[in-house]
Amino acid sequence: MPAASKTHLVLIPSYNPGPKVLDTVRAALAQWAPVWVVVDGSTDGSTEKLQALAANDAGLKVIVLPENRGKGSAVLEGITLAAAAGFTHALTMDSDGQHPADLIPAFMAASQAEPAKMVLGKPVFDADAPALRVNGRKVSNGWANLETLWMGIGDSLYGFRVYPIQPLIRIMRATRFMRRFDFDPEAVVRLCWAGVRPINIDAPVRYFRADEGGVSHFKYLRDNTLLTWMHTRLFIGFVLRLPMLLVRYLTA
């Protein structure tokens, strides 16, 4: 078991993740400690399995929310508890096996070397990645880079990343948004506005088919509508912040 860090933890929000969740958590534990899982009102029986795993592994903590609140809400719950426990940074990763646990040490090392920055995974897709998902994210990435005057967001949607906890808590407490699928892109844009610069590291992502145990909660119309409303709000915020962003851009 890796020695437990007192500043950086792995945070895994989980909602009805399917059979890959235990493999995901075990893979994370093999690379880092501690690992915290926030169960976001799951109803698929994964909660009990995770709690049983935690009972036999001191590096794992399971936090159970009574109802599904959304990914952003689960992350906020986790980082609030982490801050109270003295942690300064959290690496978020999905519970369904899509993210590369073997890169956790490299991402944490990059964060420890430059703790004022956020470390963003830049996805490297395999041949089986859905073309609609791969191409569709280019729109969100284009908007995110415009809204930050190209501060260097390699990918706005990939959830494998290390956040400085305190800036993220301040940003989330100041808005009622960022609680569901809109969390990942809005977090990086607002952190850039707050002066938290990104470090980008290539990281593979794998989409599992249903027969491989893959589970997707992505709903094309619902979630793209949410992203459209999010970028509308962010663009208005960008216009209001434009003088400040231009000064920062020109003096960087």
Could you state, in order of their start, the residue ranges of all structural domains in the chain? 8-251
HEC sequence for 65-133: ECCCCCHHHHHHHHHHHHHHCCCCEEEECCCCCCCCHHHHHHHHHHHHHCCCCEEEEEEEECCCCCHHH
CA 45, 46, 52, 54 torsion: positive or negative? negative
Cβ(22)–Cβ(53) under 8 Å? yes
The one-digit pLDDT tens for each residue of the chain (252 residues) are 788 999 999 999 999 988 889 999 999 999 999 999 999 999 999 999 999 999 999 999 999 999 999 999 999 999 999 999 999 999 999 998 889 999 999 999 999 999 999 999 999 987 676 666 667 678 889 999 999 999 999 999 999 999 999 999 999 999 989 998 789 999 999 999 999 999 999 999 877 555 555 555 555 566 667 778 888 999 999 999 888 888 877 776
* Tokens 């090392």 sit on residue: 109
DSSP letters of 159-206? --EEEEHHHHHHHHHT-S--SSTTHHHHHHHHHHHTT--EEEEEEEE-
- Does domain 8-251 correspond to CATH entry 3.90.550.10? yes
What is the rounded distance in angstroms from the CA atom of residue 248 to the CA atom of residue 195? 9
